[in-house]
Structure 1
Amino acid sequence: MMAGHTYGRKLAAGIAVTVVFTLLSIAVAVGGLKFVVDSKDRVIAAATTNLAGAEALGRLFETRLADIRGYLLNVTDEYSDAAAADRVAFQKQVTDLRGSLEDTTSLATLERIEDAEQGYNDAISKVMAQRGAGATIEEIRKMNDGQAKPLRQTMQSELASLIARVKADVEGNREESTSRAALAIAVILGLGALATACAVAVAWRLSRDLRREVGAAVGHIQSSSAQLEAAAAQQVNGGRDQASAMSEITTTISELLITSRQIAESAQRVSQIAEDTEAAARAGDSTIDQTRASMTAIRTQVDQIVQHMLALGEKSQQIGSVVDLVSELAEQTNILAINATIEASGAGEWGRRFAVVAEEIRKLADRTAASAKEIRALIEDVRGAVNTTVMATEIGAKAVDSGARQFNEATNSFREIVKLASTTNDATREIELSTKQQTTAVEQVNVAAGDTARVSRETESSAVQTKQTAAHLTALSGELLELVGSGKH
């Protein structure tokens, strides 16, 4: 197809074909990159909007539970208003999440969460109303266990299901994005292979034509080799310069060989450090898991402390009732003792001893009343300490929950560090292997440079035989210029 064209035109046509395939590969690579970026953006949006929204629902519900507990313990409007505000925020978050979710299963779970929240709100509103009307802690506990607690557990179970489903959707989107990225890479590699094959075919065709056309010219050059005598002297000088240059090149290659070996040793040390980093990161991941288990145990102990404090407050109320009864009995005993003293004074000599006994009974009644007052004050202090302890444990429970979430984030970070350390370890091993191969190649180049220097010396000795070809090479150079299409002689 290209017969009759000059070699310059053939070379231009081959370069044009190679450029076309290269531009096509670049265009496909850009399109594939945009395709992968869009997929990753969708995964990131799902993770930041849906997953964060689902976890926010759980946090809002736990905050509301804490405010409801505070109201049941203290019966103050502050906790009641806070619980109402928490419910408004929860409903707003549900509305926002419904607008971002696309999975039908997740939407159905969200609907069940709304229904469960409505039922729990109705049940806990009755419990709070009874507590506001003066119901005791024991009565409130029974109402809560019988009505609100099952609905709360259902609510927490549905929230956990929603979070798990959203996480599964995010993971599915991530796997789909990875598959698309792999497809894009395969297409780009295919086009790259096609462009490479085309470039190889063009190079082979041009090389074949060049060998054919230059072969004829070489025949003329061989027949005119006797005319190179005039240029032999310059070639001798050039051979000497070349030998000197090759000596410097050999020295440089020796230094490069030493440097390559040092790089190989450094790469080996970096590989060892990467392995140590990976092991340390894995140990940190294990420690984080153990700490998370400890945080869960602490959360359980905090809940038990709250229950014991509530029971202690109830027992304090019962002790107060007993103290009231003792105080009342002491007052009645005091009155009886006074009456007995009055009656004894009217009995004359026979009533004096009885009057002494009545006076001692009255003093004992006074001490009993004073002790009852001290016990009542101590009970009030115990009640205040119980309420303070319950509030502190509630705050501690929230801190434990926050710490558990932070430990989960730290666990994810450690796992990412493990992956990055593993990747770094693999890369350093590849660098170490490549450096060793480079060292071997430099050694081979060093040997080749020595051979080249020897050949340069041999060329210098044979340059005398080329003096006779200089005149004819001028004419042949004109023919070669015309062959490649320059049009000059």
Structure 2
Amino acid sequence: MWTFGRKIAIGFAVSFLLLLGIGSVAYRSLDSLTRTSYAVAHTHVVLEHVAGLLGQLKDAETGQRGFVITGDEAYLEPYQAAVGAVARQVKELRELTADNPNQQRRIDAAQALVSAKLAELRRIIDLRRQAGLDAAVKAVLGGEGKRTMDEFRQVAEQMEREERDLLKQRADDVEATAAGARSTIVLGTLFCLLFVGAAGYVLTRSLTTQIAAAVQHVQRSSTELQSAANQQAAGARESSTSMTEITTTISELLATSRQIAESAQRVAGVAEQTASAAGAGAGTVQVAKESIAGIRQQVDLVVNHMLELGKKSQQIGAVLDIVSELAEQTNILAINATIEATGAGEAGKRFGVVADEIRKLADRVAGSTKEIRTLIEDVRGAVNTTVMATETGSKAVDAGARQFGDVAASFTRIAALVATTTEAAREIELSTKQQTTAVEQVNIAISNTAQATKETEASSGQTFQTASQLAGLSKELLRLVQPQVAA
């Protein structure tokens, strides 16, 4: 016959196996969902790169149109930025779709269209610079750029369509995996609940049947033991000696209680001193926190100055552009003057010498301008490095400020805890005094009890017999639960 413990062990083992199976299915489902979510994020990145590539071409075309209309080189900044970014965008897009041959073929076609579009934009820019507005407008109206952009948009739409199809497919996979996981978990949980309920019912019924008879014997024995206990309560002579020892122990406890009261008074004094020290520490931390706030303001001021210095360096660069252009124009004028002086013969020799000196001066100005530009670029780099270092320092200062705030809060909590400790020490002192009084009363009561214990000897035989019966019943109960131990 199976013991009650063995039945419980089997029930737990089956429940553990069921839960393990459900957990395994849930883990595989979560792992599949995780991989699918990574694939969805990758698809969104590809879509962003396709849209970014189209946006770069639009920016380049916008900058080119602005330059064609106005002739101002400043309008070419979007075009120049797009030229540098398009190649990188195409490379990243190719790497992201390396596992998709269809997308790789479309990227090849898109790359060819991008190159054709950039070449067409560059050609019209050069035409505007060399032949003027009318020629550039005529070239734009030729429609080559529009056709190229329309073809590129078609390729981009195909790429986006395929990526969105992949998104839909992955969404369907997620739904199928989630549905399977839900079904498995729900059905497995219901089965586990049914199994646990059935096992509990069987175990309860088995335990009730086996223990019912033993409980009846225990009730009869308990009645006899109660009767014997009522007789034994009259007194026991052997307890008198123990009562004497208890009286001695109570006297020692009384002395100890008085010592505890004195210690509690000293603890209360130390707690008050600790509270004062914690308050002083909190004030010091607050002052340090205010100092860190001042440092933070100074760091922000340094960042602002550095940013202003960067703006000034940009303004100096603009002025150098003007100086460089003047130097080039002066050089051209000097060359023209030299030619005219040569054509004038003897009368223009001295004028030619002057023109040659002006040309040399213009060359020196141009060279100095390049050196100054290099120095300005160095200054810009140093400013950027300083700003980054200052921002790092600012973050460190912020972290330090937060830490000091935490320390201040800790000091506040310490002060509250110390106050609580002080109050508790005072309560301990009062409780100890009350305990001393109670111990004295207990000492008197024990003396009275020692007299009563002498009357319990008469019923000790009957109590021993009843205890023997209870020992036999306990062996029967042990045999029901663990028969090997009882044997």
Say yes or no: TM over 0.5: no
TM-score (norm 2): 0.43
TM-score (norm 1): 0.43
